[in-house]
A and B are shown apart, each in its own frame.
Chain A
Amino acid sequence: MPMITRRQLLSGLGAGLLCVMLGAPSPASAFNPERLRQKMQQAYGASGVAMIDEWLAMIARLRGQQVGDQMREVNDFFNRNVRWRDDIAIWGQEDYWATPLEMLGKREGDCEDYSIAKYITLKELDVPGNKLRMIYVRARIGRSQQSQAHMVLGYYQTPASEPLLLDNIIPSIRPASERDDLDPVFSFNSSGLWAGGSQESRADPLARLSRWRSVMDRMRDQGFI
């Protein structure tokens, strides 16, 4: 993910939270493997379907396992199968938040795409939402130690504890204190995103204002949630 300005960050966050309030899933929508396959077939053909089947098989395998195992497997799955590239290279846009389906179809993704995909997968594995947090971090990469805007997924055993980080720069899961290359900037409690109070329809014009809302809508349409 290229440089995120403060304004982009705030607007993204604000809009995201707005989605929490306004864009709760309609009761009809739910996790729907058939629909996922169908959508994948339409968009990315057989190779995409193979990928989504692999993903579905992993979910089926991990269901009911230890949280630690689930996190490791999920983290590995995406880090292994998806190539890290900038949005501009993949999508021709400065900043595009892709759904897991799009990411798996392309087999390419930016940092926030990883976080979203891992988050959705763990949620599907019944990891409590309030333990998972998307964290904006400043990352120093490589020998040049150049700073870059980045996003990771944090797992908080308790609200006050130090999080475990699911990242794609360093593929293995590590406690935050071991990541000297990352400086946390801000996090948001993503459990709220799907637990909002209001029941706005997808036709809500506000949907287009927010990246979060946009990606959630697409995920709902594709059958993730």
Chain B
Amino acid sequence: MSLIKQLWLTVILILLLAFVGSLAVSVTSTQDYVEQEVQIKNADNANALALSMSQMEKEAVSIELLLAAQFDTGHYRLIELRSPEGEVMERREAEALDNGVPDWFVNLVRLDVSPGQAVVQDGWRQYGTLTLASQHQYAYRTLWQSTLEMAAWFALVGVISLMLAWWIVRSIRRPLVEVISQARSISARRFTTSREPRTLELREVVQAMNTLSGAVHTMLSEETGKLDQLRRRLQEDATTGAYNRTTLLDHLQHNLDSDSKRASGVLVMVRVDDLPEVNERLGRQATDDALKALVEHLSQLANELGGGEVGRLNGSDFLLLIHGAQDIEHVSEALKHQLTLLRDATAEPLRLPAALTEYTHGDTASQRLAALDGALSDAESRGDLALVVASGAARSPLYTTHDAWRTALLKAMETGIALALFPVVNARQEVVHYEAPSRLELDGEWRSAGLFMPWVARLHLEDRLDLAVAERALALIESDQQPLGINLSGRAVGDMAFIKALRQRLERAPEAAKKLWIELPESTALHDLSSFRLLCRELQATGVKIGLEHVGSEFTRLADLHDLGLAFLKFDASLVHGIDQAYDQQTILRGMATLAHSLGILAIAEGVKHPEEAETLFELGLDAVTGPGVKAE
């Protein structure tokens, strides 16, 4: 039985005991008192009347009158005079009065009073025996009423005590429920902290659990920090903190291959002209500062335009990768603005020629880079702050206008979405789930997401597509019973209406929801952590598994995510690529997997191309792998 139920029962039991006890005491003592009083009255009145009768003429009418007078003016049930032989000489008896007291109560408290008796003398002889009984029906009514009053009083007391008990129970129950849910979270390796309740005992429990969560948080921060240092050394340029060449080109290639809006975007290359000379003029420190400032301005630009990455290709060339299809003129303007700001901020004016070009799904990295190189040489020759736009690859687009795209996309979504299936397998070659990027039928062919996602994003149709994909996935799960993983686009995170709509759909298919894996890009989730937290809370209730993809550069922030109950992390391909040869990478991934496991999170590697890589990854302790080189058995 629960503590709270026991408390209720105790309160009710105590009330009942108190009520029955005091009622019994009160009724019995009143009963005794009334019995004594009536007994005395019977005796005294019988004697007084007998005495009066003894003193007077024994004449029938006078005796009758005296008896009648006593009876009529007093409160008697019976006055009776019997001769010594036992014959009734006079008798007055009151009719039973109805006093509204229930019979069962009268029977219960029945007053035991015997009538008073006295002998009337006629000289030396006995004239008769007088029997007198007082009316004590009123006593029943008094008892009954006092019982009713007491019951009413106890009902009032009962209500008040139950209200008090309810209040106490509530003030215990609320923190108790919180403590229980925190304990459950911790047992599920979600190290949450909660507000300390006022109840002393519970507070101590919560303090202990909070301390535990805090310790886990600290441990995670430290460990992820160490891993991140390693990763930085491996992937980033030591001077500026931008990605190094290998990593950025890896990212570019993965974006081109990807099924998201990142499959299209803009590449910006900026060159610091005559870097050795600048170095000489400014000194090493100032030059490094200037380069850092350049990277910062480029990152700033990327943020303004919806996300991107900055890398240093070699000493003087910097590459900015802006995600998502963009208006190239707009990017060009924004870049000019940032570079002007930078130039104005540095003491010694730098020459910063730049080139831009678009990339789309289907391009190759080398071809785009070559185009950029050409344009950059052109810009260099044009002088300070020159911007040259290199034309994109000559390919005829599917549709030429926004409206055409919108119409086509909406029509395709209505017609139906197909889901491609890429297996995610564990060390035993079992499928953990299938990654299921969407396919839309455009212009008579099924097109991959890389082609239309940039347009979906540009036309703000992500919500609609995401919902359609979720619905399709649920239907497939119901028919095939295979677990599927779908992506949510970045916009979904902050959109409460979308989250609610998705939750409703998931609640309609509770069994299928348990086999649905939902993933978001690491950068999106961490960009708006509170919204992501809300999304997790809303959707996890339906049983779906939520995780992050492309985890890498912001792994340090895992400490902030430890209380979210994430089901899985997919580590970025740039960390996975060539893992079988790269020992530093192995160290990083081993650490990441270990930390993920300590929080009960599955560690999955993305972008696996060769069986050797997969083998190494499993040896490092990763739970599953996916990528072009991974096939389902």
Contact = CB atoms under 8 A, between A and B. Distances in A.
B133 to A, nearest CB: 13
A77 B248 CA distance: 141
A17 interface: yes
Interface stretch (B117-125, B400-408, B553-561, B614-622): B117-125
B469 interface: no
Contacts of A159: 84-85, 126
A109 B531 CA distance: 110
A76 B626 CA distance: 133
Interface of A: 10, 13-14, 17-18, 20-22, 133, 135, 154, 156, 158-163, 176-177, 184-189, 192, 197-198, 206
B40 A18 contact: yes
B84 A21 contact: no
B270 to A, nearest CB: 113
Provide the main secondary structure of the chain A interface.
Answer: mixed
B547 interface: no
A160 B39 contact: no
A13 B85 contact: no
A185 B54 contact: yes
A184 B121 contact: yes
B117 A160 contact: no
Interface string B79-90: 000011100000
Contacts, number: 73
B136 to A, nearest CB: 14
A190 to B, nearest CB: 10
A10 B47 CA distance: 8
B116 interface: yes
B273 interface: no
Contacts of B124: 135, 154, 162-163, 176-177, 184
A192 B116 CA distance: 11
Contacts of B83: 160
8 contacts: A10-B44, A17-B44, A21-B39, A21-B114, A158-B84, A160-B126, A162-B124, A186-B51
A21 B43 contact: yes
The 3 closest A-B pairs by CB, nearest first: A159-B84, A176-B124, A17-B43
Contacts of B112: 197-198
B47 A160 contact: no
A186 B121 contact: yes
B625 to A, nearest CB: 96
Contacts of A161: 125
The listed residue with most B CB atoms (<10 A of its CB), out of A20, A21, A184, A189, is A21
B48 interface: yes
A160 B124 CA distance: 10
B36 interface: yes
A186 B125 contact: no
Given A18-B40, A22-B39, A192 B117 contact: yes
Nearest to B45: A14
A14 B85 contact: no
Nearest to B83: A160
A22 B36 contact: yes
A154 B124 CA distance: 9
Nearest to B39: A21
Nearest to B113: A21
The listed residue with most A CB atoms (<10 A of its CB), out of B44, B50, B116, B124, is B124
Nearest to B86: A159
Given A22-B39, A186-B54, A188-B119, A14 B84 contact: no
B123 A14 contact: no
A105 to B, nearest CB: 32
A18 B43 contact: yes
A158 B117 CA distance: 18
Contacts of B117: 189, 192
A197 B85 contact: no
A147 to B, nearest CB: 16
B125 A14 contact: no
A20 B119 CA distance: 15
B513 to A, nearest CB: 80
A17 B47 contact: yes
Nearest to A197: B114
Nearest to A160: B84
A224 B40 CA distance: 26
A13 B125 contact: no
Given A189-B117, A197-B114, A162 B43 contact: no
The listed residue with most A CB atoms (<10 A of its CB), out of B43, B50, B51, is B43
B349 to A, nearest CB: 118
A177 B44 CA distance: 30
B342 to A, nearest CB: 109
Given A22-B36, A184-B124, A14 B47 contact: yes
Nearest to A192: B117
Contact of A14 (B36, B44, B54, B129): B44
A83 B481 CA distance: 123
Nearest to A20: B43
A126 to B, nearest CB: 22
Contact of B40 (A14, A163, A176, A184): A14
A78 B112 CA distance: 40
A197 B114 CA distance: 8
B614 to A, nearest CB: 99
Nearest to A19: B43
B182 to A, nearest CB: 64
A17 B116 contact: yes
B39 A187 contact: no
Given A17-B46, A187-B121, 17 more contacts: A10-B47, A13-B47, A17-B43, A17-B47, A17-B116, A135-B124, A154-B124, A160-B84, A161-B125, A176-B123, A184-B123, A184-B124, A185-B55, A186-B50, A188-B47, A189-B117, A197-B114
